[in-house]
Amino acid sequence: MENLTIARPADPKAPWGSRQLEWMQKVVPLTPMKKPALVETQFFTFAKAPEDAFRLENGASFGPITLAYETYGQLSAARDNAILVFHALSGSQHAAGYNPRRPAAGHSCGAGNLWTDECHTGWWDSLVGPGKALDTRQYFIICANYFGGCYGSTGPGSIDPRSGKPYGSRFPDPTLADVVNTQTHLLDHLGIRTLLAVAGGSLGGVMAVDFAMRYPERTHALLAIGIGPRATTLHKLSNFEQICSIEWDPHFSGGDYYDAVPPTRGLMLARMISHKTFLHLHLMEERARSEIAQEDDDLNGYRLQHQIESYMLHAVKKFVTRFDANTYLRIIKIWQQFDLSARAGGNLAEALRPCRNHRILIFSIDSDVCFWPEEQAEICEALKEIDARYLHITVHSEKGHDSFLLEPELYTPNIQFLLRETHKEEKVKNAPDSDITEPATQITTPTVLEIPSRHEARAEFLKLTQLYYQREARDKTLKVPSSESRELLRWFDSNLAQRDMADIQSFLNMFQADIKEEYDDLPEAIFNRPRIPDEAKGSLHERPLRNELEKIILRHLNSLRDLQRRPGRR
Q: Which of 40-44, 395-399, 435-439, 530-534 tops mean pLDDT? A: 40-44
Q: Which of 368, 392, 397, 506 is catalytic?
A: 368
The helix/strand/coil state of 106 is: coil
Encode pLDDT of 134-182 as tens digits. Answer: 999 999 999 999 999 999 999 999 999 999 999 999 999 999 999 999 9
- Residues forming beta bridges with residue 321, ordered by sequence position: none
Mean pLDDT of 378-389: 95
Rounded Cα–Cα distance for residues 565 and 502 (Å): 12
- The answer on pLDDT for 437 being more than 60 is no
- The answer on pLDDT for 542 being more than 70 is no
**Are 18 and 566 a contacting pair, CB within 8 Å?**
no
* DSSP assignment string, 162-175: TTTEE-GGGS----
The helix/strand/coil state of 504 is: helix
What is the pLDDT, as a whole number, of residue 110? 47
CB atoms within 10 A of CB 70: 23
The helix/strand/coil state of 308 is: helix
CA 151 vs CA 20, 38, 102, 283: distances in Å = 43, 18, 8, 28
* 3-state percent breakdown (helix, strand, coil) of the chain, nearest 5: 45, 15, 45
Kind of pairing between the strands at 82-86 and 42-46:
unpaired
What is the pLDDT, as a whole number, of residue 246? 98
Residue that wins the pLDDT comparison between 52 and 539: 52
Q: Which of 94, 107, 401, 556 is catalytic?
A: 401
Kind of pairing between the strands at 61-62 and 54-55:
antiparallel
**Mean pLDDT, all residues of the chain:** 80
What percentage of the chain exceeds 90 in pLDDT?
A: 57
> Against a cut of 0.75, is the pTM above it?
no
Least confident range of 14-23, 62-71, 407-416: 14-23
Encode pLDDT of 391-415 as tens digits. Answer: 999 988 889 999 999 999 999 989 9
Give span(s): CATH 3.40.50.1820, the chain.
42-426
- Catalytic (active site) residue 401: yes
Q: Which of 202, 245, 397, 506 is catalytic?
A: 202
CA terminus-to-terminus distance, the chain: 25
**Are 397 and 225 a contacting pair, CB within 8 Å?**
no
Encode pLDDT of 275-297 as tens digits. Answer: 999 888 788 888 877 677 877 67
Q: Is 312 left (phi over 0), alpha (psi -120 to 50) or beta?
A: alpha
Rounded Cα–Cα distance for residues 50 and 297 (Å): 48
- The answer on pLDDT for 102 being more than 80 is no
Rounded Cα–Cα distance for residues 570 and 553 (Å): 35
Encode pLDDT of 244-279 as tens digits. Answer: 999 999 999 999 999 999 999 999 999 999 999 988
- The answer on pLDDT for 532 being more than 70 is no
What is the pLDDT, as a whole number, of residue 533? 36
Type and span of the H or E element at 195: strand 195-201
- Catalytic (active site) residue 210: no
Query: What phi and psi, each to the nearest 5 degrees, are found at residue 151?
Result: -120, 35
The helix/strand/coil state of 218 is: helix
- Residues forming beta bridges with residue 197, ordered by sequence position: 83, 221
What is the pLDDT, as a whole number, of residue 487? 66
- The answer on pLDDT for 531 being more than 80 is no
**Are 411 and 225 a contacting pair, CB within 8 Å?**
yes
The helix/strand/coil state of 67 is: strand
CB atoms within 10 A of CB 177: 18
What is the pLDDT, as a whole number, of residue 226? 97
Nearest CA-CA partner of 84 in 154, 132, 134, 137: 134
Least confident range of 260-264, 292-296, 465-469, 535-539: 535-539
H-assigned helices in 38-82? none
Q: 42-426 has which CATH code?
A: 3.40.50.1820
